[in-house]
Amino acid sequence: MSAQIPEVRSTEQLRQKWMKPEVITGSEILLRSLLLEGVDCVFGYPGGAVLYIYDAMYGFEDFKHVLTRHEQGAIHAADGYARASGKVGVCIATSGPGATNLVTGIATAYMDSVPLVVITGNVISSLIGTDAFQEADITGITMPITKHSYLVRDVEDLPRIIHEAFHIANTGRKGPVLIDIPKDVSAARTLFNPQTEPVAMRGYNPRTLPNRLQVDRLAQAIQEAERPFILAGGGVIYSGGHEALYEFIRKTEIPITTTLLGLGAFPSGHELWTGMPGMHGTYTSNQAIQNADLLINIGARFDDRVTGKLEGFAPHAKIVHIDIDPAEIGKNVPTDIPIVGDVKTVLEIANEIVQRADKADAWREQIQAWKADKPFRYRDSEEVLKPQWVVELLNETTRGEAIVTTDVGQHQMWAAQYYKFNKPRSWITSGGLGTMGFGFPSAIGAQMAHPERLVISINGDGGMQMCSQELAICAINNIPVKIVVLNNQVLGMVRQWQELIYDNRYSHIDLSGSPDFVKLAEAYGVKGLRATNKEEAEQAWQEALDTPGPVLVEFVVSKDENVYPMVTQGSTIDQMLLGDE
């Protein structure tokens, strides 16, 4: 039995029905406008301030809504949907606590440049500012973590605002937009005036075309470089620029690393790919950055987990930075050749003129030598399950073709290190904010976006408990996410830091009192399996793959395992702890 996932029904006949000019409520305007924007699935949780909106959904068969069990689950699911599909994710919550429960998810999307339209209800307009029941200034609270926000004062403005919100969320540097709708506005009636024309907003005109002279400078720098290296980030995926990037590498033959959010932007099996850089990146990637004479940043933001100590980052390199957000260029790392523009567009223009980096043959040989000498390593065991081995099992049995979501912690880094991604939008994780509780509900959204694909949610035993109630959605709707829990009975990444940096002072990290995850899954109506050794692991995982519906598999793994390599804070990225190899 497949997941009960809504069909996309945006036929011209339906569009004409939705665009019919008639007097309707603000709530009906909202639903019709969302459908006209191509929305085929909304995640939400009702409450008093949005009851008119939910009443409008009653009997509205064209509008598909998924009831989550917590507002945070709703926004993380919308986030996963957006990352997996490339479309705008949408969620709805009521005023006050419903709206504030979305804040972590909004910040998660903002940090990772994920397009969301977040719809909240508010108290009636005359009560705004009076501390009314379940009132919160959600536009004020979220101002630092949204691209833009609207407080709708007039129902006639609603079609325009919704149309603008989708435009803002999904253009330029993408991100979340909030629409706050007072209850009286959702109840008011007016003549529906659908908005379908291209949006033109004064003061908002993201630059997509680069300065051609800067692209010429890039091409010249490649010809002059002896040790060129590419750092590619999530911007490649968000722009749809992965094919243009592949062509750029084919023409220049420059080695490439992809950041945590950039995994899948370039095939992991390619000989010029060096793995992930930074705090838990490969030896090769970090050495290449530190020894490069030309570092080309394509759609990454020089995050501190990538750069390490800034004063010693890429000390020999001329820096090229390609990004659609001019605020990122030069923010952390001084830039020699800034190129502002859409990554896909910039690469397509560059591909017309770039040539092979002919002076870099010795450099390419050095890259291959580092890769051969210092791959990811761990000490395997036949007595206890090693988490790295489990991720390798997932990769081998799925041939790297699954959509993988993760929570945050050690398991996130092991998944990034040992699962090999060859396609964009196959890796979904909270990078900038590092949000525990993100992994499982984001997998639900990803599965809704791609019902035909295998979706694996990899979680730790800590993060799994933060949104475990969303198991109900999988059971009720038969959403076939395969939920992996790497249970080491401890807050693993915190324990690792306390071991290595805080002299083994283990403070408040014991999760041994956690629930029986198999029983927890079964309580929600989801099949639960457990494995404590390799034989059990292989059998349980194969059973999970053979089961058409959702399955949770708990892998009981080694408690003391650390993520290596590791660059401690305050160190340059070539000062790596390689661990016990």
Catalytic residue numbers, as ranges: 71, 133-134, 183, 493
Q: Which of 416, 424, 418, 422 is nearest to 401 (CA)?
A: 422
Per-residue b or e along 213-251, where b marks 16 or more CB atoms closer than 10 Å to that residue's CB: ebbebbeebbeebebbbbbbbbbbbbbebbebbbbbbeb
Q: What's the maximum distance between 2 C-alpha atoms anywhere in the chain?
A: 72
What are φ and ψ of residue 179, in 5° steps?
-120, 115
Are 475 and 526 spatial neighbours (Cβ–Cβ below 8 Å)?
A: yes
Structure tokens at 267: 């095939």
What are φ and ψ of residue 79, in 5° steps?
-65, -50
Are 233 and 297 spatial neighbours (Cβ–Cβ below 8 Å)?
A: yes
Residue length of the chain:
581
Q: Which of 256, 238, 234 is nearest to 247 (CA)?
A: 256
Structure tokens at 33: 């406008």
Q: How many CA atoms lie within 13 A of 281 on its CB side?
A: 32
What whole-number distance in Å separates Cα of residue 555 and Cα of residue 75? Answer: 28
Q: Identify the DSSP state of 337.
A: E
Total Cβ atoms within 10 A of residue 279: 23
What whole-number distance in Å separates Cα of residue 18 and Cα of residue 200? Answer: 23
Reduce the secondary structure of 493-526 to three states and give it as a string: HHHHHHHHCCCCCCCCCECCCCCCHHHHHHHCCC
What whole-number distance in Å separates Cα of residue 26 and Cα of residue 14? Answer: 20
Q: Residue holding tokens 């301030």? A: 49
Residue 127 to residues 131, 132, 137: CA-CA distances in angstroms? 8, 6, 12
Q: At 528, is the secondary structure helix, strand, or coil?
A: strand
Total Cβ atoms within 10 A of residue 8: 11
- Kind of pairing, strands 482-487 and 551-556? parallel
* CA 336-342-345 angle, 5° bins: 100
Does a cis peptide bond (omega within 30 degrees of 0) precede residue 46? no
- Name the H helices within 86-176: 97-100, 103-111, 138-141, 158-169
Q: Residue holding tokens 């198999």? A: 518
Total Cβ atoms within 10 A of residue 13: 8
Are 17 and 49 spatial neighbours (Cβ–Cβ below 8 Å)?
A: no
Handedness of CA 86, 58, 74, 100 (dihedral sign): positive
Positions of E strands within 170-249: 176-182, 189-191, 228-232
What whole-number distance in Å separates Cα of residue 281 and Cα of residue 303? Answer: 13
Structure tokens at 531: 């494995």
